[in-house]
């Protein structure tokens, strides 16, 4: 006996009730449960839908779907990191390395020659963190709208919008920046320190650009590549 | 999974071998196939299968396809090009392992005099 469309919807609801928020994972689990139920019915046709469902769900173990969700999160998190790294690498190969080096030397030159270098540095920090907060705030608003309108959630989309494991790393420069600006005379008067600081500012700038601009602008492509069903759902 | 510790390390290889033979398969089909081949001896649990599939997919060894079957969507897994190469490596590794274990567990009598 085949499952009806209504029973399939019931299975989607069941996965949601068991903490599977993401549509991509729900779909895979729904098909699995549906197959298992249909096979079980061939042997025990008298069992009700709920009885078979509970029997099949118990096979997932005491943590239910948690293991599956966690492993998927981890796998896609790694995929995201690899994506960021691939983009990052291009800034160190021809022709983009010219941009990276030019920016570093330019910043170095400005900080070295200007007598207001400590103010310039503070201004850079304000822009850096202002930009991050602005982007985080923007995403929070989008997420709220998504939640209110009950849109389907895709795990990889969420990772892209929350910057995977980088969201914590983005605030790391805060410590370094405050160190540098509070000991400006030490860090900004020595050429080696000055060059390192310039390089670091450029590197974090590149990372921000990748996380906030490049990857989100290609989100659609990445999602279609990760989820063939994304195309079907968003026609 | 039966004797999980012993089988655990080979789960990925089992999945890849099945995909190599059958082209594309979906999760439930894999569990059933393993059960049928081993005559019910080996039962891959759902909690182990999907994490393994997701990991292999993220590593670029598997690719996915979606098909609408009955009134639901079905996700099929298949080997990518690098997945096919990796399957050959892992299978030969597994064969070496089996051979070594065999000679350790039941050493053939020495015929030296």
A62 touches chain B (CB under 8 A): no
> Which of B8, B35, B70 to mutate against chain A (most A CBs within 10 Å)?
B70
> Residue B19 domain-assigned?
yes
Most A-contacting residue of B29, B57, B62, B66 (CB-CB within 10 A), to test interface: B66
pLDDT class of A232 with cuts at 50, 70, 90: low
Which of chain B's residues have a Cβ under 8 Å away from the Cβ of A30? 72
The torsion angles phi and psi of A188, rounded to 5 degrees, stand at: -95, 0
The reply to whether A203 touches chain B by the CB within 8 Å rule is: no
**What Å distances lie between residue B15 and A87, B25, B26, B90, B99, CA to CA?**
32, 10, 11, 11, 21
Q: Does B112 contact A at CB distance below 8 Å?
A: no
Residue B2 has pLDDT above 60, yes or no: no
**Structural domain contains residue B110:** no
Number of domains observed in the structure of chain B: 1
CB-CB under 8 Å, B71 with A60 = no
Q: Per mean pLDDT, which range of A93-102, A160-169, B10-19 is the poorest?
A: A160-169
What percent of chain A shows pLDDT beyond 70? 98
Residue pairs between chains A and B whose CB atoms are closer than 8 Å: 78
Binding-face residues of B in 35-54 toward A, CB within 8 A: 45-47, 50-51, 54
Residue linked to tokens 């800034």: A91
pLDDT, tens digit (0-9, with 9 covering 90-100), for A166-201: 877 777 777 777 877 777 777 777 788 888 888 888
Q: Residue A186: phi, psi to the nearest 5? A: -80, -50
Give the up-direction half-sphere exposure of residue B107: CA atoms within 13 A in the CB hemisphere.
Answer: 4
Maximum Cα–Cα distance across chain B: 71
Closest-CA residue of A relative to B32 is A36
**Verdict on whether the full-model pTM lies above 0.90:** no
The CATH number given to whatever domain includes residue B45 is: 1.10.10.10
Domain ranges of chain A: 5-64, 81-233
Contacts of B80 in chain A (CB under 8 A): none
Nearest CA to A187 out of A122, A114, A118, A105 is that of A118
Domain region containing B60? 5-101
Three-state DSSP state, A83: helix
- Sequence-distant contacts of B53-59: CB under 8 A, at least 24 apart: B53/B15, B53/B27, B53/B77, B54/A68, B54/A71, B54/A72, B54/A75, B54/A76, B55/A71, B55/A75, B55/B12, B56/B12, B56/B15, B56/B16, B56/B83, B57/A75, B58/A75, B58/A76, B58/A78, B58/A79
**Rounded alpha-carbon distances, angstroms, from residue B72 to A9, A200, B30:** 9, 50, 18
Contact status of A85 with chain B (Cβ, < 8 Å):
no
Spell out where chain B has E strands: 25-26, 62-69, 72-79
Assigned domain for B51 exists:
yes
Query: Distance (Å) from the C-alpha of residue B93 to the closest C-alpha of chain A?
Result: 24
Residue A235: its pLDDT value, please?
46
Instruction: Supply the Cα-derived Rg of chain A in whole angstroms.
Output: 25
CA distance A78 to chain B (A): 7
| Range among A109-123, A183-197, B44-58 rated most confident | B44-58
CA distance B47 to chain A (A): 5
Tokens standing for B62? 């598997």
B9 vs A12, higher pLDDT = A12
- Chain A CB contacts of B58 under 8 Å are 75-76, 78-79
Cis, bond preceding B84 (omega within 30 deg of 0): no
CB B57 within 8 Å of CB A24: no
Query: Minimum mean pLDDT among A70-79, A127-136, A157-166, B101-110: which range?
Result: B101-110
Q: What is the pLDDT of residue A185?
A: 72
Is A31 in contact with B75 (Cβ distance < 8 A)?
yes
Please list every residue in chain B whose beta carbon sits closer than 8 Å to the beta carbon of residue A31: 26-28, 69, 72-75
- Paired tokens of A30: 């729904």
In a domain, B23, yes or no: yes
Is residue A105 within a helix (H) or strand (E), and if so which, with residue range?
helix A96-113
Q: Is B108 among the domain residues?
A: no
What is the average pLDDT value for chain A, to the nearest integer? Answer: 85
Per-residue burial over A17-43, b if 16 or more Cβ lie within 10 Å, else e, is eeebebbbbbbbbbbbbbbbbeebbee
**Count of alpha carbons within 13 angstroms of residue A30, beta-carbon side:** 30
Residue-level pLDDT at B96: 92
Residue B44: its chain A contacts at CB < 8 A?
none
Whose structure tokens read 């994304």?
A: A230
Contacts of A158 (CB under 8 A, 6+ apart): A22
- Give the pLDDT confidence of B61-108 residue by residue, as tens digits: 999 988 888 888 999 999 999 999 999 999 999 899 889 988 888 876
Interface residue of A66, A229, A230, A234 to substitute, partner B, most B CBs within 10 Å: A229
CA angle A201, A205, A208 (to 5 degrees): 140
CB contact under 8 A, A229 and B75: yes
Please tell me the distance from the alpha carbon of residue B61 to that of residue B39, in angstroms, as a whole number: 28
Query: What tens digit of pLDDT does each residue of A33-65 get?
Result: 999 999 989 888 888 899 999 988 988 887 888
Do the beta carbons of residue B46 and residue B59 sit within 8 Å? no
In the predicted model, what is the mean pLDDT of residues A130-148? 85
ipTM above 0.90, yes or no: no
Give Cβ neighbours of residue B29 (< 8 Å, ≥ 6 apart).
Answer: A35
CA distance A25 to A36: 17
For residue B87, tell me if it sits in a domain.
yes
- Average pLDDT of span A10-18: 92
Contact B74/A31 with Cβ under 8 angstroms? Answer: yes
Instruction: Evaluate whether residue B9 is within a structural domain.
Output: yes
Is position B106 within any domain? no
């Amino acid at each position: 006996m085949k499952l009806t469309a209504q029973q399939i919807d019931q299975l989607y609801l069941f996965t949601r009730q068991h903490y599977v928020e993401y549509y991509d994972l729900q779909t895979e689990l729904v098909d699995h449960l549906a197959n298992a139920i249909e096979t079980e019915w061939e042997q025990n046709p008298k069992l009700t839908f709920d009885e078979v469902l509970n029997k099949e769900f118990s096979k997932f173990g005491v943590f239910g779907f948690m293991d599956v969700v966690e492993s998927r999160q981890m796998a896609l998190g790694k995929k995201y990191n690899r994506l960021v790294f691939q983009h990052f690498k291009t800034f160190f190969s021809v022709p983009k390395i010219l941009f990276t080096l030019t920016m570093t030397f330019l910043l170095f030159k400005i900080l070295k020659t200007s007598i207001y270098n400590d103010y310039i540095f503070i201004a850079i920090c304000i822009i850096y963190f202002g930009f991050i907060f602005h982007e985080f705030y923007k995403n929070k608003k989008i997420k709220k709208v998504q939640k209110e309108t009950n849109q389907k959630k895709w795990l990889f989309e969420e990772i892209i919008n929350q910057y995977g494991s980088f969201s914590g790393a983005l605030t790391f420069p805060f410590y370094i920046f405050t160190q540098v600006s509070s000991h400006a005379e030490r860090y900004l008067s020595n050429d080696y320190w000055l060059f390192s600081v310039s390089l670091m500012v450029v590197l974090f700038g590149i990372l921000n650009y990748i996380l906030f601009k490049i990857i989100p602008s290609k989100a659609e492509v990445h999602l279609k590549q990760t989820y063939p069903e994304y195309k079907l759902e968003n026609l | 999974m039966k004797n999980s510790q012993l089988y655990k390390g080979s789960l990925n290889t089992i999945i890849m071998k099945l995909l190599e033979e059958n082209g594309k398969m979906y999760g439930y089909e894999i569990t059933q196939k393993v059960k049928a081949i081993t005559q019910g001896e080996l039962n891959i649990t759902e909690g182990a299968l999907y994490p393994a599939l997701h990991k292999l997919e993220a590593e670029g060894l598997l690719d996915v396809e979606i098909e609408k079957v009955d009134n639901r969507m079905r996700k099929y897994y298949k080997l990518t090009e690098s997945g096919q190469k990796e399957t050959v490596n892992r299978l030969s590794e597994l064969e070496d392992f089996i051979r070594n274990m065999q000679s350790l567990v039941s050493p053939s009598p020495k015929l030296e005099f």
